[in-house]
Amino acid sequence: MVLSEYTYLFVIGTFFAFLDVYNNGANDVANAWATSVSSRSISYRWAMILGTVMEMLGAITVGARTADTIKNGIIPNTVFQNNPGVQMLAFTCALAGASCWVMWCTRHSAHVSSTYSLISAVAGVGVAVAGARNVQWGWNNGKGMGAIFAGLGMAPVIAAGFGATIFMLIKLVVHVRKNPVRWAIYTSPAFFLIAGTICTLSIVYKGSPNLKLGARSPSFIVGVVMGTGAGLALLSALFFVPYVYAKVIIKDPSVRWYHVIQGPLLFRRPAPTGTEVAVVPNYAVVQHDDDDVSSLGSSNDDEFRNEKNPATIEAAPVGTGEVSQFTHKELQAQATERLHVKLRKKRGIFGWAMRTLHENPQGPGSIYELHNIRILFKRIPAMLVVGALYGVNYDIHAAQTGIAGTPEGKRMASVYSHATKYSNEVEHSYSFVQVLTACTASFAHGANDIGNAAGPWAAIYSAWSTGSPTSSKAPVPIWQLAVLSAVLSIGLITYGYNIMKVMGNKITYHSPSRGCSMEMGAAITVLVFSQYSLPVSTSMCITGATVGVGLTNGTFKAVNWQRVSLLVISWIATIPIAGTLAGVIMGIVLNAPHFA
């Protein structure tokens, strides 16, 4: 029996469930892919494409078909007294509190854990419904608030240790050798073996609840994990090593990606004449060209000079020690405008939309003036296009390196100066390993975390559609997983750039060999915590691993501790703020005066 009198509550709950998952994509998933994008192992557009495919594939194919309605056992199901309406209200308020907090953090480029936010919001709702005594504040077999606090403190530190250990292994085996290029190529199957094993474990224990692989015998698990890793290492030895050998050692510019199928035949490829440099991507974090928008001193764009600042005095480049003649806010505005000048020159619908907004600014007076209403009708279609495609065209790397002449730009230049730079030929081998780890992490996230996010919405839907209270486990139809994974992907595509621009290179210097170490370190940490049923945030793990790898440069100056401190503050603030928001909303609605 459908609770038709509470249909409005179901609609509101659905809205906040979508908002929560949208934020998950814009915050958690964007942060997970930031490492690969920051290392230049993959472009932002390809990160969005692969992220969308892997998240949806993980959620739909092997995602959980049941979800915890009471996140991590924070409050008992009995507090709702078998009242489906109150239960719907509770989960709606929890989703509202969690989604509003994560949205605010995403808007201000502070990455937080959507899962932690939702757990805290449920705890706040529990306090409003049944009092603080009914909330599990202790350890509670790894499911209480005490375990959450413990995970927040331990996970980043442990991930830092794993990430640093893996990178030191790469450093000793490859980077410090006399001929690091050959060592990088010939040892790559070993690192594919490590990455394949870790990725398979991630899918088995964290990302495949529907396949129930975790319930199989230990010998079966070992066979699957080691067999997958060994198989991947064998394939890399047969196809990847010859391909990179031809591209990097022989330096044959005619080698294309599809030549990888030739395998060992590539060893017989004759060396070209007159080629001294291998044709591989430039993995340097800071790159300057005529269209560079990260440094004010490197652009000769007459449109910006004439239209926006005809009397511009160029700011001093980062690291020269000269004093900038602009304020911090002015430099930021100028850098943003330089990017917009570049975007307005693009062809297609996005370029049209940017030009339309630029050529039709709001006129004098208020928005309701007749001439402004006419302008608004011109701007609305362009605003919709820009909102959907701005992230696709955003310059992530320019934003990560800091704006020249600002304190942030100088800070990042100092951080980068303390990091050892390795050749592009060496880094090229690890870019493939990093994409593999990123795709696997995204697949596991879609299979596992989508199910977690679907819990409250599944509870609301079940209570509304059946008219009875939902148990501690609620069935999650596949259509709900598909819809939520699609919304999550939209969040990554349209707003993920706002988190990605402050992650990665904003913490320390990135490169493919460093990036794959960070991602594998974070994956191992998640696996360890999963085995002990402790709540852990993938975002916190990747951040900890990033700091750990940064410290392998041998100095604390290679890490941007200001950014790290802000992230830790946002993590800690998540628990009381999300819980208070949800609890206050629940308390007001539940106890509001009403006619008898």
DSSP class per residue in 358-389: HHS---SS-TTSHHHHHHHHHHHHHHHHHHHH
Q: Does a structural domain hold residue 442?
A: yes
Q: Which residues pair with 475 in a beta bridge?
A: 66
Determine contact, residues 591/127, Cβ cutoff 8 Å: no
User: Cα separations (Å) of 465 from 87, 366, 475?
Assistant: 13, 46, 12
Domain end point (choices 382, 416, 450): 416
Q: Looking at the structure, do residues 569 and 446 belong to the same domain, yes or no?
A: yes
User: Cα separations (Å) of 363 from 352, 367, 385?
Assistant: 20, 8, 22
Distance of alpha carbon 36 from alpha carbon 369, whole angstroms: 48
Q: Please report the sign of the dihedral spanned by the C-alpha atoms of residue 493, residue 498, residue 499, residue 500.
A: positive
Q: Looking at the structure, do residues 49 and 167 belong to the same domain, yes or no?
A: yes
Q: Looking at the structure, do residues 473 and 507 belong to the same domain, yes or no?
A: yes
Q: Does a structural domain hold residue 529?
A: no
Residue 66 CB coordination number (10 Å): 17
Determine contact, residues 544/155, Cβ cutoff 8 Å: yes
By C-alpha distance, which of 100, 115, 83 is closest to 459?
Answer: 83
Q: Does a structural domain hold residue 80?
A: yes
DSSP class of residue 74 equals S
Q: Looking at the structure, do residues 409 and 448 belong to the same domain, yes or no?
A: no
Distance of alpha carbon 77 from alpha carbon 63, whole angstroms: 24
Distance of alpha carbon 97 from alpha carbon 124, whole angstroms: 9
Q: State both tokens at 11.
A: 């609609």
Q: Looking at the structure, do residues 67 and 113 belong to the same domain, yes or no?
A: yes
By C-alpha distance, which of 520, 306, 285 is closest to 419?
Answer: 285
Q: Looking at the structure, do residues 95 and 172 belong to the same domain, yes or no?
A: yes
Residue 509: predicted pLDDT: 92
Q: State both tokens at 40.
A: 């230049």
Amino acid in the structure at residue 247: K
Residue 398: predicted pLDDT: 80
Q: Are strands 473-475 and 66-68 parallel, antiparallel or unpaired?
A: antiparallel
Q: Does a structural domain hold residue 531?
A: no
Distance of alpha carbon 18 from alpha carbon 529, whole angstroms: 28
Domain end point (choices 386, 416, 446): 416
Q: Does a structural domain hold residue 262?
A: no
Q: Looking at the structure, do residues 165 and 124 belong to the same domain, yes or no?
A: yes
Domain housing 450: 4-178+438-519+536-591
Residue 290: predicted pLDDT: 45
Look at the chain and report how many structural domains it folds into: 2
User: What length is written for the chain?
Assistant: 596
Q: Looking at the structure, do residues 344 and 487 belong to the same domain, yes or no?
A: no
Residue 94: predicted pLDDT: 92
Determine contact, residues 144/158, Cβ cutoff 8 Å: no
Q: Does a structural domain hold residue 487?
A: yes
Residue 285: predicted pLDDT: 86
Q: Does a structural domain hold residue 292?
A: no
Residue 570 CB coordination number (10 Å): 18
Q: Looking at the structure, do residues 142 and 174 belong to the same domain, yes or no?
A: yes
Q: Looking at the structure, do residues 27 and 134 belong to the same domain, yes or no?
A: yes
Distance of alpha carbon 212 from alpha carbon 64, whole angstroms: 10
Q: Looking at the structure, do residues 512 and 556 belong to the same domain, yes or no?
A: yes
Q: State both tokens at 384.
A: 């919709």
Distance of alpha carbon 397 from alpha carbon 380, whole angstroms: 29
Digits of tens for pLDDT over the chain (596 positions)?
678 888 999 999 999 999 999 988 888 888 778 888 989 998 888 888 998 888 888 877 766 655 555 555 677 777 777 788 888 898 899 999 999 999 999 888 888 888 888 888 988 998 898 888 878 787 777 667 787 778 788 889 999 999 999 999 999 999 999 899 999 999 999 989 998 888 888 777 765 556 666 677 888 888 888 999 999 999 999 999 999 999 898 888 888 888 899 999 999 888 887 777 788 888 988 876 544 444 433 333 444 444 444 333 344 444 444 444 677 677 778 888 888 999 999 989 999 999 999 999 988 888 888 888 999 999 999 999 998 899 888 888 888 887 777 778 888 889 999 999 999 999 998 999 899 888 887 887 777 677 666 778 888 888 888 887 766 566 677 788 888 888 988 998 888 888 888 887 889 999 999 999 998 898 888 878 777 767 677 788 889 999 999 999 999 999 999 989 988 899 889 989 999 999 999 999 988 887 76
Determine contact, residues 113/482, Cβ cutoff 8 Å: no
Q: Does a structural domain hold residue 13?
A: yes
By C-alpha distance, which of 445, 583, 539 is closest to 57?
Answer: 445
Q: State both tokens at 225.
A: 């994990």
Burial class (CB in 10 A: 0-12, 13-18, 19+), 53: middle
Domain end point (choices 383, 416, 449): 416
Determine contact, residues 26/106, Cβ cutoff 8 Å: yes
Q: Looking at the structure, do residues 388 and 492 belong to the same domain, yes or no?
A: no
